[in-house]
Amino acid sequence: QVQLVESGGGLVQPGGSLRLSCAAAGIITSVSGMGWYRQLPGQQRELVARISRGGSINYADSVKGRFTVTRDNAKNTVYLQMNSLKPEDTAVYYCNADISDSDYRLKNYWGQGTQVTVSS
């Protein structure tokens, strides 16, 4: 009914850049908070960046200054611009959002995940 569609992952060299996109699709009443999380190999899933509908942003310390999260409310889409990528950024990146569906029920959704690999 409602799903988050991710794109933009891939293989990049250290120091390179990638831009991830995540669009909420389906019958949607509203989208509140949106953000990005990642799961490093052998690690627990962790916050990367989250942005409220009004534009308030939280970044993980490990990505602050290198990553930028933005959103387009008209498109129900959140983006993650990743610059100066490091091998330690290698992870599966997951989109996450709080969405009110056709029944006006606020639910939390996860994207399917997209692999980001930083390697020479």
Percent of the chain with pLDDT over 90: 95
Question: Is the predicted pLDDT of residue 65 greater than 90, yes or no?
Answer: yes
Residue whose tokens read 């930028």:
68
Question: Is the predicted pLDDT of residue 1 greater than 90, yes or no?
Answer: no
Q: Determine the average pLDDT of the residues in 5-31.
A: 97
Question: Is the predicted pLDDT of residue 103 greater than 90, yes or no?
Answer: no
